[in-house]
Amino acid sequence: MKKLISIIGTTGIGKTKLAIEIAKHFGTEIISCDSRQFFKEMNIGTATPSKEELAEVPHHFIGNLSVQDYYSIGQFEKDAIQKTGELFQKHNVVVLVGGSMMYEKAVIEGLHDLPEANEENQRKLEQLLEEDGIEKLQNILQNLDPGYFDKVDKDNPRRLFRAIDIIWQTGKTYTENISAQMNQRDFEVIRIGLQAPREVIYERINQRVDLMVENGLLKEAESLIPFKNNLALQTVGYSELFNYFDGTWTLDFALEEIKKNSRRFAKRQLTWYRKEENINWVNFENPVEESLSILNAVMR
Q: Are 218 and 162 contained in the same domain?
A: no
Beta strands in 72-184 (DSSP E): 93-97
pTM over 0.85: no
Q: What single string gives the DSSP state of each residue in 155-170?
A: T-HHHHHHHHHHHHHH
Cα gap 237→135, rounded to integer Å: 18
Which of 95, 123, 118 lies closest to 21 in space, CA to CA? 95
Q: Are 136 and 200 contained in the same domain?
A: no
What is the pLDDT, as a whole number, of residue 178?
Answer: 77
Q: Indicate the annotated binding residues for substrate.
A: 11-16
Q: Are 194 and 233 contained in the same domain?
A: yes
Q: Indicate the annotated binding residues for ATP.
A: 9-16
Q: Indicate the annotated binding residues.
A: 9-16
Q: Which of 177, 195, 224 is the C-terminal boundary of a domain?
A: 177
Answer whether residue 183 shows pLDDT above 70. Answer: no
Express each pLDDT in 13-42 by its tens digit.
999 999 999 999 999 999 999 999 999 999
What is the pLDDT, as a whole number, of residue 19?
Answer: 98
Cα gap 51→112, rounded to integer Å: 36
Q: Are 84 and 141 contained in the same domain?
A: no
Number of domains in the chain: 2
Q: Are 246 and 269 contained in the same domain?
A: yes
8-state DSSP, 191: E
Answer whether residue 125 shows pLDDT above 90. Answer: yes
- Residues 6 or more apart whose CB falls under 8 angstroms from that of 98 comprise 8, 15, 32, 33, 34, 35, 37, 104
Q: Are 187 and 153 contained in the same domain?
A: no
8-state DSSP, 189: E
